[in-house]
Amino acid sequence: MRLVLLSVLCHYGAVVFSQSSVVNFYVATESPIAKAGLLANIGPSGSKSSGAKAGLVIASPSTTNPDYLFTWTRDSALVFKTIIDQFTGGQDTTLRPLIDLYVTAQAALQQVSNPSGTVLTGGLAEPKFNIDGTAFTGPWGRPQRDGPALRATAFITYANWLVANTNETFVTTTLWPIIKLDLDYVMNLWNQTTQVFLISTSALLTGVYDRFDLWEEVDSSSFFTTAAQHRALRQGSALATSIGQTSVVAGYNTQAGNILCFLQSYWNPSGGFITANTGGGRSGIDANTALASIHTFDPTAGCDATTFQPCSDKALSNLKVYVDSFRSIYGINSGISANAAVATGRYPEDVYFNGNPWYLTTAAVAEQLYDSLIVWKQQGSLTITTTSLAFFKQFMPSATTGTFASSTSAFTTLTSSVQTFADDFLSIVSKYTPSNGGFSEQFDKNAGTPLSAADLTWSYASALTVFSARQGFSSAVWGAKGLTVPSGACQSFVGPTVQVTFNVVATTQFGENIFLTGSLDALQNWSPTSAIPLNANNYPTWSVVVTLPANTDFQYKYIRVFNSVVTWESDPNNEQTTPASGSFVIDDTWR
């Protein structure tokens, strides 16, 4: 009970233990527990990863409510980036054999054909696999395009260390082919419309499918994914140059510039926050944005707002809006003052497990603040703009815009307050960490008890990264310094389209109508509520013309709607491929 006891002492007995001493103790005691918890979930020898192929990360040992006994490309990349940072930073020099197992495992996984495709037809963005390295073929939202970018970033960090330590041969012969596959995927497909893939209509009707953002729920462009893709291409271009693979550099750089341009479109100036997704029907306030900021942190970039660095005015304004959105929706946050730390979750509208705080999202807030402190102390000043003024006024109501050198009282007051604020978020994580130090995915919004998947590997990784940031460690430089959005209009992100006429012969009763939906944004992503109505001008043939992306495989079905009752066509889904240009006519008969 020592962690719980210290949290209580911190909350009620500051005269006995200062907040910083409690957090110091928590970091010291939890660090080895988190490290052990993370390693336990990596095959083949992890104590909780029985059955996992060597080098594969299980998301969690949990097999029911929820079943997380799979290996996710995104989670694995973030976990191994943590491991690689510890190894290359000299914090743990024993990790190299494990990293090499990850290399071998991912090289094999890239070649596994799966529902998203083969290695050359989209399979690199398959979100998850069975822990024996075989394809998961159940219904799921796919593709998820952050995985290839995050995996490339992890490997590039390792590759840079190897090159610096006279092992370039391993990089060029083993690592580069893996990295290039992922980077080429990002370069070619980062701006393509995602497609819903469903095994059957029954999966759709029962809701057993997810979408493709960080949380696998929204089928749209995602700030986290875009930021990860931008970083990967920048790092990939630099690595390619250093090892003589110059043929890819121009393409990587061009698309990195386009992605950086697109990244700016997520900023919501009127709301003062980063809109996390371009779709989904939610507020757009989301932990996705804080996570993107810490996972694209480059300490040499200062407080650059173009890449949304942790201490940039936009990232800080966004952080305040994000944190404030949870103040009144969790019972455990009640009674906490408006400028104090609170538990945070994925997004305020969350309903997964009834919507609760997450360990890794609360830790991410602290990590962004610690990253900011690293830069402010490194550059010897901090700047307040009209965009970030509300963030700073939380700590110093008299704060004004301007640049404040480290010799000023404003700098001292603000950095000290931000340090305390960050520690307070970590104290919340400590307060709801069970006595054995194990991390689940979530903790109950009213009782604070652990919920959902136990021993979540990503939760353990997030603890290790926030602890490192608090100690002043920063992640590898990746080239964010001095970047600017390309001059002039950015390249259009909309590819070529074609006009597709859908005709279906369907006999109906009076008041019954025919609608169309399918696997593309333009086909309303299988939504029966926003499906496209067809006209019956040539009854019994119903028709509609829809603009679809060219050269694209897609699936679709017709539905009947009568008195709000929806009836779907029988399985299987209809499938077509649009031509490269011109128009296309599809003639169907209702099944």
Question: 116, 143 in Cβ contact below 8 A?
Answer: yes
Bridge partner residues of 515 (DSSP): 533, 559
How far is the C-alpha of 265 from the C-alpha of 284, rounded, in Å?
A: 13
Quick one: the chain helix, strand, coil %, rounded to 5?
A: 45, 15, 45
Strands 497-505 and 450-451: unpaired
Question: 329, 336 in Cβ contact below 8 A?
Answer: no
Bridge partner residues of 518 (DSSP): 556
DSSP state, 174?
I
Return the amino acid letter for 130. Answer: N
- What sign for the dihedral angle of Cα 7, 321, 481, 250? positive
Question: In this structure, what token pair is assigned to residue 4?
Answer: 């719980």
> What angle do helix axes 2-12 and 409-431 make, rounded to 10 degrees?
140
- The response to whether 140 counts as a known ligand-binding position is yes
DSSP state, 524?
G
Return the amino acid letter for 429. Answer: V
Active site residue 213: yes
N-to-C CA span, the chain: 63
Q: How many Cβ atoms from other residues are within 10 Å of residue 490's Cβ? A: 16
Question: 44, 54 in Cβ contact below 8 A?
Answer: yes
| Centroid of chain to Cα 509 | 47
Active site residue 216: yes
SS3 state at 199: coil
Question: 463, 240 in Cβ contact below 8 A?
Answer: no
* Cβ neighbours of residue 430 closer than 8 Å, sequence gap 6 or more: 3, 6, 7, 10, 22, 23, 26, 30
Q: Which of 146, 182, 184, 213 is catalytic?
A: 213
Q: Which of 85, 126, 216, 324 is catalytic?
A: 216
Number of C-alpha atoms within 13 angstroms, CB side, residue 238? 16
Phi then psi for residue 505, to 5 deg, are -85, 115
Task: State the binding site.
Answer: 140
Binding residues for substrate: 140
Catalytic residues: 213, 216
